[in-house]
Structure 1
Amino acid sequence: MRIGYIADKQLYVWEDGRVTALPSVRYQKYLAAMQSIHDAKAWKTTGTGAMFTGAAADAPVDPAKIPVGLHGLAPDPDGMLYAVELDQVGGLYRRDLDPAASEEGHVMTRQNMFFGGIHRRGDQLAMCTGSSPQLLHLSILDLRDNSETEITDGDTRECDPCWSPDGSRILFSSAGYARSDSGKPAMLGPHEVLAYAPGSGSLDTLCSNPAFDYLSPQESSEGALYCIRQPYDNGQKRSSLLKDILLFPVRIIKALGGLLNYFSIRYGGEPLRSDSSSPERTKKKSPQELFFEGNLIKAEENLKQNQLAGDKYPGICPRNRVLLRIDPDGKETTLRHSVLDYTLLPDGRILCSNGAHLLLLDGSQETELAKVKLAHDLTLLEV
């Protein structure tokens, strides 16, 4: 059995107990090109002359900080098909399984293209894409001629498309935006599971509850619906009036201290705080880094909770993020707590990631295939 997945912004293949990392050739070439441009302009922005003229402030962006995202993986005759986003440009590429490969096949590229997952059936690729990560919509790409059919639009965010076993419909998660007073999309609502039938053009709701998000839907050959369920969070923090009143003097003092520290650095060249020049404090982080750091801060708490719950392979995802099976008669069964991602295998087993381990679920039995952090886009490449 050969399994592909994405972790730490890199492609991986698991086969017979061995894990192989496959660098994105597209990313490696883009990074080399940016490094060449960076080096060519370095003489203008480094050294005492550049500091004297002020050109040092306009130094090129460090190539190592180029935003890169991998948000889609599918099997391909020669290896895998993957979706990558590089500095506001998204594309689909074919990658063979040789780690040393220096070339890869190009399928499509588009400016301002972001992905929310892909799933392949024959030559038809279901994918969720959009001009921003917040607005993604379902479409179908014919890999024979790269013709694309757009299915949904509007103020919605669709993700995790998956063909049904018989190919009669595409399951996906969808959430709508509420609009602000100015008419712009604001708060994102809970995700529900929808099914689109290409033959009839019908769109049906399979699973919805305002208290939960339903993600990564898949359908078994018996007609059961699988998905990840987690409590819906609108991102708004509740404020305590009493706490705000008690902390008001402290916040005023911290604000004044920060203002004085800024003036000291701006006009005196030295900070008032001895640790304010620490790289950990001054480094500007990307939203992706903040997101992952946010998860890692909670990971320790989640790991302890999963250990206390008696999990054989405790993960770093919250226990209330569960893998759910919904039978055709509506019966719901929680198959596992603390699930980051999963995929169904043809023989009924389930491949699962809990943020720390890659697991094979066979009924109540769990087998660890590999230790890997934040593995997602789990894909069966070959049985």
Structure 2
Amino acid sequence: MGQANVQTIISEFGQAVQQREFQTQQRNGWKQKSMTANLMSGGMPTDGDRHRAARGEAPSSSNVSVAVQGVCPTSADRLLYTLEAGEVGGIFALERFAGTIDVLGKATPLDTRPKTREKRLFHSADFKVDRVDFHPEYQLIACAAIAKDGSANIATMPVNSVHLVQATEGDSIDLAPKWIPGFRKAIVFQSSGIGRDEAGYIVEQRHSTIEQLDLDRQEVVTLASDPKYDLLSPQMTADGTLYYIRRPYVPLRQRARFSQVLKDTLLIPARLVTAVFEWLNFFTRRHTGKSLLAIPQPRRGRANQMLLLGRWVDTAAQIERNRRFGDADSPAIVPRSWELVEQFPHREPKVLDRGVLAFDIGADGQIVYSNGSAVYGVLPGGVAQRLIVDNSIEQVVILDLDNHLN
């Protein structure tokens, strides 16, 4: 078991969305459209952006963010993934093929290296799609469809279709569907109820439980629940063993602490003054090339904050806190209270590791998991070995289930 090869794949659809947005800004007057953002940041389109636009490429920094939310294999040469590009979300396939050219009616190899192409199965601006899983026997896709009101439900779709069928309902957040192997048409997923105010905004979210959806019987059964914890990203093996991530439950109202709300309220006048200063500073820099103050500008935004499994995490603080645990050069980016748990039928949960953000289970029982900074693999009865080190690893998937860890 050693370091794995890494290949970066860029979505052509995502790039096209970014490019169209950039060209629209140019045609309609990017100055008016992004005046507020530019005044606050002092930003202008760079020469590099103009050169990239002339070459038909996306700008270096686009207003449209592109993110892959879930990946799963359907075969050795095909991956399914969910993509979020601005207001558009959908399911796509990445297919690997050998390049060929037609010469006198014969397919002749053009390049011995495998190539990839992106195929759009469907996309929509009405909802976003999160996580995806594939059932090889029934040729069904399962995913989570997230509505604009914040609720989410499990949905399924035949692999050759373009229409999702809602499988769960209710005002809840149902996420992370996973087919149960060796079982009838059934899915495990995480679910949490939500509460809304009179205006319809979400003001509370209950702890996440693990549910089983039997599509043939049209019934949902709770498999695991603990009011003290969120139980997330469940997977079940053919023998009924559950694996999931467990973390302490924090009510939604408590996530925005009173001290922080009070601090933000008191800082409103100062932030208004800062906005006026930035507005004046923009025009000063625009016409003189100099700032009003020759001092470094403060960093803005949540520079070290990442939204991980539905919760904001100060990853920089967690990295420093976790350096004394495990590998010092790849500490967990999430709290150690986020645990990878194994639960046999009618048994108590067993913690396999701490500070875990994502995992996957192979057909042979091998486990691959990540703390956000590295990926580890462990065979049944073995010990964890580090496979790769990288930054901000949010999901891990075993692509070739026949390829054992060696």
TM-score range, shorter chain: 0.7 to 0.9
Deviation per residue, 1:310-336 (Å, 9 max, x gap):
557632221000000111022211001
Aligned equivalent of 1:348: 365
Aligned equivalent of 2:90: 91
Aligned equivalent of 2:389: 371
Among 187, 193, 205, which residue is 1:188 paired with? 205
Aligned equivalent of 2:107: none
The one-letter amino acid of 1:92's match is I
User: CA separation of 1:273/1:224 partners in 2, compared to 1, >3 Å: closer, same or farther?
Assistant: farther
The one-letter amino acid of 1:159's match is L
Equivalent runs, 1:232-251 vs 2, <5 Å = 232-235=249-252, 236=254, 237-239=256-258
1:152 aligns with 2:168: yes
User: CA separation of 1:215/1:299 partners in 2, compared to 1, >3 Å: closer, same or farther?
Assistant: same
Measure how far apart 1:182 and its partner are.
4.5
Percent identical: 21
Deviation per residue, 1:281-335 (Å, 9 max, x gap):
4xxx6x9985359999733443344333455763222100000011102221100
Among 146, 155, 171, which residue is 1:139 paired with? 155
Contact 1:225 1:327 in 2 (8 A): yes
Aligned equivalent of 2:179: 163
What is the RMSD computed on CA atoms of the aligned residues?
Answer: 4.0
Aligned equivalent of 2:104: none
Measure how far apart 1:219 and its partner are.
0.7
Measure how far apart 1:90 and its partner are.
1.1
Aligned equivalent of 1:79: 78
CA distance, structure 1, for counterparts of residue 123 and residue 386 of structure 2 = 37
The one-letter amino acid of 1:374's match is S
Contact 1:121 1:163 in 2 (8 A): yes
Contact 2:322 2:332 in 1 (8 A): yes
CA distance, structure 2, for counterparts of residue 189 and residue 106 of structure 1 = 35
- Runs of 5+ unmatched residues, structure 2: 34-42, 45-57, 98-112, 286-290
CA distance, structure 2, for counterparts of residue 86 and residue 94 of structure 1 = 15
Aligned equivalent of 1:20: 7
Contact 2:372 2:391 in 1 (8 A): yes
- Runs of 5+ unmatched residues, structure 1: 2-14, 47-55
**Matched residue count:** 349
Contact 2:181 2:237 in 1 (8 A): yes
User: CA separation of 1:330/1:280 partners in 2, compared to 1, >3 Å: closer, same or farther?
Assistant: same
* Higher-RCO chain (CA-CA 8 Å, sequence separation at least 6): 1
Among 315, 318, 329, which residue is 1:302 paired with? 318
CA distance, structure 1, for counterparts of residue 32 and residue 200 of structure 2 = 43
1:291 aligns with 2:306: yes
Measure how far apart 1:174 and its partner are.
0.6
Deviation per residue, 1:39-92 (Å, 9 max, x gap):
44569879xxxxxxxxx99xxx97622122211212134321111111211111
Deviation per residue, 1:241-293 (Å, 9 max, x gap):
xxx7xx99xx86x6555555555666797799948983834xxx6x9985359
Report the 3-state secondary structure (helix = DSSP H, G, I; strand = E; otherwise coil) of the residue aligned with 1:291: strand
CA distance, structure 1, for counterparts of residue 159 and residue 192 of structure 2 = 27
Aligned equivalent of 1:108: 122
CA distance, structure 2, for counterparts of residue 107 and residue 233 of structure 1 = 37
User: CA separation of 1:40/1:342 partners in 2, compared to 1, >3 Å: closer, same or farther?
Assistant: same
Deviates most, 97-106 or 187-196: 97-106
Aligned equivalent of 2:375: 358
Among 110, 118, 124, which residue is 2:132 paired with? 118
Deviation per residue, 1:188-226 (Å, 9 max, x gap):
111110000011111000111111100010012221111
Contact 2:94 2:116 in 1 (8 A): no
User: CA separation of 1:320/1:266 partners in 2, compared to 1, >3 Å: closer, same or farther?
Assistant: closer
CA distance, structure 2, for counterparts of residue 230 and residue 364 of structure 1 = 25
